[in-house]
Amino acid sequence: MASAAGDPLLPGEGSGGRRLGFLPSTIRLKTSVWSELGGAVGDLGTYIPIVLALSLASHLDLGTTLIFTALYNFSTGLLFGIPMPVQPMKSIAAVALSSAHLTVPQIMSAGLAVAAILLFLGATGLMTFIYRLLPLPVVRGVQLSQGLSFAFTAVKYIRYVQDFSRSSSASTAAARPLLGLDGLVLALAALLFIILATGSGDDEDVAATDGTVRRRRSCSRVPAALIVFALGLLLCFVRDPSILRGLRFGPAPLRIVKITWEDFKIGFWEGAVPQLPLSVLNSVIAVCKLSSDLFPERAELSPARVSVSVGLMNFVGCWFGAMPCCHGAGGLAGQYRFGGRSGASVVFLAVGKLALGLVFGNSFVTILGQFPIGILGVMLLFSGIELAMASRDMGTKEESFVMLICAGVSLTGSSAALGFISGIVLFLLLRLRDVDYRGIVGGWGAGRRQTGNKVGGDGDEDA
């Protein structure tokens, strides 16, 4: 592929490649700095609402979460070499913000329980066995349901006023005002800008003046997501200049979370049990499959490594009160959609999170509380659509049928596990229809007759 004029830092080309030659290959730039920076903020449409809601409603320490997720981002960027996301465990967050309202020790207990199970599945190789065994249409159904779920939530963010002190997706009955610094017009303007800047988010064939065809990366020309996110941060201070007075400089002090046996029991049954199917399906299996779709030139991600990665992350951070985290196919899709192509993308994000966590600590929640939610909705919308589009490769009507049933049950039942089970049962039923029962019965009957004839022949010889 020809080098684009707007991508001066392609590895191995010109002085840019020589300047970056000392870096590990996993975090060397695959496109431009601006493209990777745009991809770095691609999953914040999911990350910010959840951690903001938990900080406001459950008293989660945002500074500690920022610092540990920064370390996770840096490690996964070096380890995997792709924009591997680090996102809060959504089911645990949903339970914590529901009527059950888990305490911080109970949230950490749930994260530790999920981490232990995923670490066991990865270390023993069982996760790889599960990954190889699952039929592709069922995996695509999980991806489609998660992508559409993100898209539906994003539309709520754009259309309705949110109250994150109660939930990460608490849409009120009030429609978002048309004008204002968090109005519908602002959100729609951001939406149109991203579409004009990045198109469908894929590489495009462009006819040159000499009649030849060249390829360009539309999403690497303008860091649309970075520009929109920077605008949102600027508007935080414009909307409420008094937030400057609430800032406190310095990192939050690290403290070991004290977890009782009662905390662990509640965290396990209320948080870990509903989270585990989502972590296995979306955080490991769907991530591995999506990475092979988005980066076909790379070796396939090992499900065991991804599973162990999630386990180790939480075994470190949860003891200090950092939000339980995992990888997610939606976050990977979002970072890819906005230009992330290497581990450098999440390393840039790690630097930003670490700086904010060390400089502002938990007081940064006052800034995030003023972030325009409509803009977050726009970013989340593109992440969801990118993830859902991974399911477009179903080649037969039967595969599409299984995928759509799996996705439909997941969405209507609000449970990826229920959709997954439905998809597996449906897939097995369709396989049973293809079995040649007449051939099996006929072969069994012929075998019995042959055995009988042999026995009869032996009897004649004995006579």
Task: Write the burial class of residue 195 (CB in 10 Å: 0-12 exposed, 13-18 middle, 19+ buried).
Answer: middle
pLDDT for residue 145 is more than 70: yes
- Comparing C-alpha atoms, which of 51, 105, 126 is closest to residue 285? 126
Mean pLDDT of the chain: 85
Pairing of strands 171-175, 160-162: antiparallel
What local confidence, expressed as pLDDT, does residue 189 receive? 96
Question: Half-sphere exposure (CA, 13 Å, Cβ side) for 47?
Answer: 25
At residue 452 the predicted structure's pLDDT band, cuts being 50, 70 and 90, is low
Cβ atoms of residues 57 and 166 within 8 Å: yes
What pLDDT digit, counting tens, does each position of 47-72 carry? 999 999 999 888 899 999 999 999 99
At residue 164 the predicted structure's pLDDT band, cuts being 50, 70 and 90, is confident
What local confidence, expressed as pLDDT, does residue 360 receive? 92
* Average pLDDT over every residue of 118-136: 95
Lowest mean pLDDT among 273-282, 285-294, 343-352, 447-456: 447-456
pLDDT for residue 299 is more than 60: yes
What local confidence, expressed as pLDDT, does residue 449 receive? 61
What local confidence, expressed as pLDDT, does residue 460 receive? 52
* Average pLDDT over every residue of 225-244: 93
What pLDDT digit, counting tens, does each position of 13-39 carry? 444 444 556 678 888 888 889 989 999
Tracing tokens 């979370």 back to the chain, one arrives at 257
What local confidence, expressed as pLDDT, does residue 17 receive? 44
- In the chain, what is the straight-line distance between the N-terminal and C-terminal CA atoms, in Å? 83
Cβ atoms of residues 298 and 82 within 8 Å: yes
- Where does 36-191 show beta strands of DSSP type E? 87-88, 160-162, 171-175
What local confidence, expressed as pLDDT, does residue 8 receive? 39
* Average pLDDT over every residue of 268-295: 92
- Name the phi and psi angles at 92, rounded to 5: -60, -45
Cβ atoms of residues 255 and 63 within 8 Å: no
Amino acid at 307: S
Quick one: how far is CA 435 from the chain centroid?
38
Amino acid at 447: G
At residue 283 the predicted structure's pLDDT band, cuts being 50, 70 and 90, is very high
At residue 252 the predicted structure's pLDDT band, cuts being 50, 70 and 90, is confident
Higher pLDDT, 314 or 451: 314
Lowest mean pLDDT among 6-15, 53-62, 92-101, 253-262: 6-15
Q: How far is CA 140 from CA 62, 91, 282, 391, in A?
A: 34, 20, 10, 5
Lowest mean pLDDT among 181-185, 360-364, 378-382, 457-461: 457-461
Cβ atoms of residues 83 and 343 within 8 Å: yes
pLDDT for residue 442 is more than 60: yes
| Residue 336: partners with Cβ closer than 8 Å, 6 or more residues away | 39, 42, 83, 201, 294, 386
What pLDDT digit, counting tens, does each position of 313-349 carry? 999 999 999 999 999 999 999 999 999 999 999 999 9
